[in-house]
Structure 1
Amino acid sequence: MHSIKRSPILKLVAAVAVNVGFVLICQQYWRVTDDNNGVATGGAGTGLGSMPEQVLVQQHVYQPPQEQNPLNQQYAAGIDETPLRTFEVPEELYLTHDVAIPYDIPAWTAADSAALRTAMGYDMMSDLLKPEYSVHEQVTEKSQLDFARTSRAERIYKSLWNFLRPVYNSLPGEDSREKERVFVKELALKRVDVDFFLRLEKRLYPFLHLKHRTSFSLQDSYKGRGFVLCAGNNQFKFIVSSIQAIRRLQPDLPIQLFHMGDGDLSKERQEYVREMTNDIEVLDITEFLDNDYMKLGGWSIKAFSLLASRFEEAMLVDSDAYFLQDPAKLFEDPGYKATGGLFFYDRTLFPDWHTGPDWIRSMIPIMSTLPNQLRSFKGISTHEQESGVVVINKKTRLNGLLAICKMNSKWERDLFSYRMFYGDKETFWVGFEMVQEPYSFMRTYGGVVGELRDDPVKEIEKLEARLEQEDDGRSAKERQMDRDEITHQKKRPVLEKESVCGAQLHLDHLGQPMWWNGGLMRNKNEGVQRILDFKYWMAGGGMSSHRERNVRDKELQRELLWDLGKASMDEVERGEEEEDPEWIFHESCMYGGEVHLLEEEKRRLTESFVAMDRVGKEDEVKIRAGEGVDPKEHDWASM
């Protein structure tokens, strides 16, 4: 012993021997055998010995050793090089739609179910099942909600949903009620994955369980196609003509109108709607979904109405939206057929907004291929989606719709969603992103339909000439109104190109006017109550093949420059393409694009909508006065 201490060489040899022995022991201890189907054979007490390798890899706990390629330039043999996003659509679809190709969420396996019985599985379940608030609680602080954790739980729920759906389908029973009884009362007592699924669904989507015990039976209740609308007493003046407009173009598909009880839409108005056309139902949504959890109000009823509707393929239509073509054509739209979710872009307005995109990135670190291409992420528009018309296939995209509803629940919308966005609008595509469902946007941005914008210079000249006439018999108040109007006209920009003013227009995939949102008034948001004259329209742009060049976000600019091999944005050319038209927001006017004359047939259609609207408003006055009104007395078809 004394010689070892005194000799550096012997000391080094001893240290090497000890380390080699330790390495050999560890290799034997952690050896993975091929004839044991990839299961680690470590000894007791490791916490890993009995878990399948696949599960450990998914949980980032264990990575199998990888042999290096001899050239050290390629991945080792056996590494899965499958693309991260394997959902596919026809290549020609990108000419007419913007398509979100989702990141593949790993499929749940039997090995994952087995892992739930481990200490790590128990810990994961405990974390995801922990409620953020109770049904009776008033949530006032943002810190009480964790959307990143919620989106993680929703993705795990989706993976488990797809795994257990065939199990539910195979259960005995002639109807969903009997299948649910077996699934909830028997199978959940034996299988930890079924128990976890039921608890997770209750944690995420408690509003489902008023009439159904699982989302499986709710989905099984969906049949056919139809339109979904929402209205209270305040929207009744719009809904009459909107529904009749649908019926003018599409007489066959059923309609469901949802409200939040008699205090929201009076019984007299409910009866009026039931009698005004064929195949229409007027329904209280709180009889289908649990309002103790939803706590509905305002825009939030829209997403939940889609969920509650009986249709497998449902089209949500705003109460002030009007179609210029048969709306059923959207069920055949290529983007909808390919993805199961069809959305429309809003107008391009208010650049350099970072709050919303930053929040989305914080809760959804891994997203589809689309967000970084969107105007809001590029910093060139605050608004992205217009939710006046939404088309969803609930057979294939139910998990996406559930995530949308979660964002529209009481505290989620009050503390986050509706603060980040303008109401429910962006919750549709963001909800699909939360669970990585594919979806498509009609490629054109929001345009305009209405009248040509008058020239402020000519208006000022006309008003000043009238003021010079001292003995025109008008009062001092009327003359002051002219002076005020001159002041207003002087603030309006003078444009070199013609501008169209009116409602927000949306095109079909062929580039033709399909529908508009905003009612029949010249500009309802600014209180301009005059009926709009629908003569002209202008597309909102968005068809440029070089849209990626329009980037204001600095980080995305650097990425673009790197892709293009450019040193600065000054070197980036847009090609020969024209710039997209621009909005004068407070006037609801668009300029800079080609002005189109609305087809005569479509003009006559808009005139019929105006006539229907006039009759509906007259009946609304009678209802308020307590008079009985029979909508069947009107010849709606001849208007």
Structure 2
Amino acid sequence: MVPIGASLVRELRALGNKDPIQVMHCFEAELPEADRALLLDIEDANVEIIDVCSLLVAADLLTAEAATDFQNYWLKPLAVLVSSFDEVMLLDVDNLFVRDPAELWTTPLYLDTGTLFFYDRVLNFNFWLNEAQADGRAYLRIFLETFPYTSFGLHPPTNPSQRLQDSMIYARHTAHEQDSSVVLLQKSKAGVPVLKILWHLATYQRHHGHPFSWYIRTRTSLSHYLTLRQTRGDKESFWLSFELGQVPYAFSPWAASVVAKPGDVPAHPDTLCGSLAQFVPTTNANDPAVLLFVNGGDVIDIVDTGTGASGGHDWDGRGAQLLADIPHHVTPRHKRHPTPAFGFRGTYDQTCLIGDGATALDESFHELASRRIRWAVDVAKRMEWQATIVHT
């Protein structure tokens, strides 16, 4: 991830972003000294590198064994909590920005709530928070009812927030609510109960099946109840923390879009199946639709994650292939709506936005993606790679 991480820092600075950057990782092996040096060597980087797991182990908040289980997406909630920043913008390393994300700090949604979240695809699957339980109700509803609010100094709410009641996930139209590739959160505005709940969801609640004393060092004893095993990674923990903490939070009014994969437009021009894309979260439907970023590992990741290959890689060849495959179309900006249920999607996999259309991307997107790929190739060539053995 170092090549696209270093290229992301360069991209942000090239877009005019001046915000300080904290790069979070979990233990030395995940980001060795030579790789850290590459990040710190970027001109005007203003980068601080933080080993989240080592900090939490040293603070006696996690055991070393438990901390290794955060070498994945679940590091994100901990990164928000550990960060020295009050106002945090969490970014995935494989985001490709078209505009400076600092613009999000001044959006009415963020200014009103101290949060700004983006939606994931609407997937009508009987999984995760949407999974039907023995009584026929969705897992989400039981989870909300059985959460131990009093353990966090809260009274159980009479009803969920109106935002949740009006949502696709509460209506059981989707198994996914939030995309966590960009998350804005002001911790002082969230309040202590919300932050405690976020920690709880990422640690104990996530691993309900493990002995509590092994997983997280604490004297607090919480009752046993449903686990977050049904959720898909870290992403639902952000909005859930606010919902459970009974603090207002905001989502972009626009649904997730996607960019085209090679071959999409000739084969099915009204259905794209590529990487997730998000538009500027304007609340005025009459404002122009402006693409903000693409969560585009498939578009820009110079390390071929499909094969896991790295050692002895033909970086120029890989870069040339990525350049040739840069998308030229994106799903138009639109509102969330119900989609075909699992089993009724035909040959379309879960990445596809069925029937939501396609519109041409501005030529500037091609230029930005090309620049990002070239920067990633440059970093990959400078790195000290160890040969990777791929087992088949």
Same fold (TM over 0.5): yes
- Which whole-Å CA distance do the structure 2 matches of 1:351 and 1:261 have between them? 36
Whichever of the two has the greater Rg, that structure is: 1
* RMSD (Å) for aligned C-alpha atoms: 3.1
Query: What SS does the aligned partner of 1:319 have?
Result: coil
Change (3 A) 1:525 1:421: farther
Aligned to 1:405: 199
Higher relative contact order (CA 8 A, sep 6+): 2
- Kindly report which structure 2 residues correspond to 1:75-90, keeping only aligned pairs within 5 A, or say none: none
Partners of 1:551 and 1:515 in 2: CA distance: 23
Amino acid aligned to 2:237: T
Structure 2 vs 1, CA of residues 585 and 376 (structure 1 numbering), >3 Å: closer, same or farther? farther
Decide whether the 8 Å contact of 1:502 with 1:589 is kept in 2: yes
Q: TM (normalized to structure 2)?
A: 0.72
Structure-to-structure mapping, 1:612-627, within 5 angstroms: 612-620=375-383, 622-624=384-386
- Matched residue type, 1:513: L
**Tell me, what secondary structure is at the counterpart of 2:31?**
coil
1:121-154 Cα offsets, whole Å, 9 max, x none, are: xxxxxxxxxxxxxxxxxxxxxxxxxxxxxxxxxx
Shift of the 522–284 alpha-carbon distance from structure 1 to 2, 3 Å rule, reads: closer
Does the CA contact (< 8 Å) of 2:17 and 2:102 recur in 1? no
Matched, 1:285 2:49: no
Q: Percent identity?
A: 24
* 2:235 equivalent among 409, 419, 425: 425
Summarize deviations over 1:166-224 as a string: whole Å, max 9, x none: xxxxxxxxxxxxxxxxxxxxxxxxxxxxxxxxxxxxxxxxxxxxxxxxxxxxxxxxxxx
Aligned partner of 2:39 among 246, 261, 273: 273
- 1:43-442 to structure 2, matched below 5 A, reads 235-277=1-43, 278-286=45-53, 288-290=55-57, 292-294=60-62, 295-296=66-67, 297=70, 298-352=72-126, 353-354=130-131, 355-364=138-147, 366=157, 367-399=160-192, 400-409=194-203, 411-415=204-208, 418-442=228-252
Contiguous gaps of at least 5 residues in structure 2: 132-137, 148-155, 209-225, 283-288, 309-317, 388-392
Residues 522 and 605 of structure 1, relative CA distance in 2, 3 Å threshold: closer
| SS of structure 2 residue aligned to 1:388 | strand
Residue among 256, 264, 274 paired with 1:446: 256
Q: C-alpha separation between the residues in 1 aligned to 2:196 and 2:247?
A: 11
* Preserved contact between residue 91 and residue 182 of structure 2 (Cα < 8 Å): yes
Q: Is the 8 A contact 2:3 2:377 kept in 1?
A: no
Q: Deviations over 1:91-112 (max 9, x none)?
A: xxxxxxxxxxxxxxxxxxxxxx
Say which SS state the counterpart of residue 609 (structure 1) adopts: helix
Decide whether aligned partners of structure 1 residues 350 and 525 sit closer, same or farther in structure 2, where only a CA change above 3 A counts: farther
Matched residue SS, 2:367: helix
Counterpart CA distance in 1 for 2:291 and 2:346 is: 18
Higher percent of residues as helix: 1
**Which whole-Å CA distance do the structure 1 matches of 2:191 and 2:182 have between them?**
18
Q: Deviations over 1:225-248 (max 9, x none)?
A: xxxxxxxxxx32432222222222
Gaps of 5+ in 1: 1-234, 457-493, 553-581, 626-639
Query: SS at 2:254's partner residue?
Result: coil
Distance 1:389 1:263 in 2: 25
Residues in 2 aligned to 1:358 and 1:380: alpha-carbon distance in whole angstroms: 14
1:516 to 282, 294, 303: 294
Pairing 1:473-552 to 2, within 5 Å after superposition = 495=268, 497-510=269-282, 511-521=289-299, 531=322, 532-539=325-332, 541-542=334-335
Matches within 5 A, 1:448-463: 448-451=258-261, 453-454=263-264
Query: How does 1:33-52 map onto structure 2 within 5 Å?
Result: none
For the residue of structure 2 that corresponds to 1:437, the secondary structure is coil
Amino acid in the other structure paired with 1:241 = S
- Residue 583 and residue 615 in structure 1: after superposition, are their counterparts in 2 closer, same or farther (change >3 A)? farther
Structure 1 residues 516, 307: closer, same or farther in 2, change over 3 A? same
Quick check: 1:501–1:590 contact (8 Å CA) kept in 2? yes
Q: How many residues align?
A: 318
